[in-house]
Structure 1
């Protein structure tokens, strides 16, 4: 009976240790208010998300191209101007003009222009109006170059995913990061959005079509997608870490179990070297 308890104690330690490891092994797992987690999005919200446009913020990098239509150009051809003056390169190799903390950019000819809070379209319209003071038929295009989101957890290649068209679907993000691993929890994918002090958390179940129909799979720049691992992965990790403990336990217990077996053999008359006569 004592030997049974000796074996059961480490097994119980493993099970309870696996439960504890689950809490530490998963991101965003503790103190998550399930009542505030969004699992359903109304049709109106979904339509608004499809039309969503990112607004320029400090820290964004802008590609600004300015063209002018010359009256003497054949067929009204647009001539590119000022391109070289508006192209910069940062340490990561991303070109574009950095929007400073005050949200105002300084560009040749027209000077300082506030662009914070404007979409690409609105910023282009504002710059076009400014250039009309100096050019006859200006055309300006604005593109945000550093839009991205993060995909973490149980995917093939977690990391930063560039967003080139304003928004991206969850399936596109997963495809770009190597799809889900075998250890991924497909029923509980988290999307963290907004201010990290007061984030909005969404939960997506990829295994249930009924739930997908009422969810929103549209991602915005700066979203964090977290694919949680299955509970069994934490338990298996705990087993690997406790492997050395079991080896140590086996070394310690082997003489005791051998002695107990010999002792029981004496008690029932089976003694090593004795045929029982």
Structure 2
């Protein structure tokens, strides 16, 4: 009986010291930080934010020309003419080179880095006017995305299809949060991964939400942390089976020892 008590005591000590340290990502001072407060000026900037083309982006471009009095529209350029069409987002469209340019029919290399979709379209129409009478251009950035990880039902990469996305939409596209999700401390990482901007969002507090911003940007990483209770679940899954095996092996010896003591 004493041996069984020792086993149970050891099990209690191990379980009480169980933590999520080795399971949680991006650990640091932000784990104990309060919700990030966004100023009105910052919020207004995020509401009106437009993504600008960067090197390594995938950009689909369509250029049309109106021909003659019949108003016939002829396609001059589209994303398939780049030879890189096929899978949406990852391979569709022209690849912006490291120097921010793409190579187009008739006009050759053009620098689109730093332009929004509308700015790039207007720029291309002006360039094509040298060769076409009535050019019209459509530009779309194809590889904008959000990275969703942690306690969501479908973690992964979420494409931004309408130019912007908010946190609630990203969570919904990920199949909602799991029962183990820490809804009070959602982490958003933005920018350079060596020195990222870190935001903490509490979805359970309306007052905190009114001072925060749910808008996400291209390449943001959203991490839904697990609650501390998951540590006990992980402990029971990983540690209890060996203890059950040891307990099963030792039980007959404990019973024999008990019977001997009772006979004495």
Structure 1 and Structure 2 fold alike (TM over 0.5): yes
Q: Distance in 2 between matches of 1:180 and 1:110?
A: 49
Once the 2 structures are TM-superposed, how far is the Cα of residue 8 of structure 1 from its aligned partner? 1.1
Aligned match of 1:210? 207
In structure 2, the CA distance between the partners of 1:265 and 1:34, relative to structure 1 (3 Å rule), is closer
Aligned match of 1:7? 8
Aligned match of 1:63? 60
Q: Distance in 1 between matches of 2:105 and 2:127?
A: 11
Which sections of structure 2, spanning at least 5 residues, go unmatched? Answer: none
In structure 2, the CA distance between the partners of 1:48 and 1:209, relative to structure 1 (3 Å rule), is same
| The structure with more radius of gyration | 1
Once the 2 structures are TM-superposed, how far is the Cα of residue 210 of structure 1 from its aligned partner? 0.7
Q: Distance in 2 between matches of 1:240 and 1:85?
A: 51
Q: Deviations over 1:74-108 (max 9, x none)?
A: 4xx65432337744335745320111112111101
SS for the counterpart of 2:222 is: strand
The TM-score with structure 1 as length reference comes to: 0.85
Aligned match of 2:227? 230
Verify the 8 A CA contact 2:61 2:79 in the aligned structure 1: no
Verify the 8 A CA contact 2:80 2:93 in the aligned structure 1: no
Asked whether 1:81 is paired with 2:76, we answer yes
Root mean square deviation of aligned Cα: 2.4
Q: Distance in 2 between matches of 1:243 and 1:9?
A: 11
**Deviant stretches of 4+, over 6 Å:** 35-38
Asked whether 1:46 is paired with 2:43, we answer yes
Aligned match of 1:271? none
Q: Distance in 2 between matches of 1:85 and 1:15?
A: 60
Q: Which of 177, 180, 198 is the equivalent residue of 1:180? A: 177
Asked whether 1:196 is paired with 2:197, we answer no
Structure 1 window deviating more from structure 2 (38-47 vs 212-221): it is: 38-47
Aligned match of 2:142? 145
Verify the 8 A CA contact 1:155 1:227 in the aligned structure 2: yes
In structure 2, the CA distance between the partners of 1:181 and 1:84, relative to structure 1 (3 Å rule), is closer
Aligned match of 2:216? 219
The TM-score with structure 2 as length reference comes to: 0.89
Aligned residues: 261
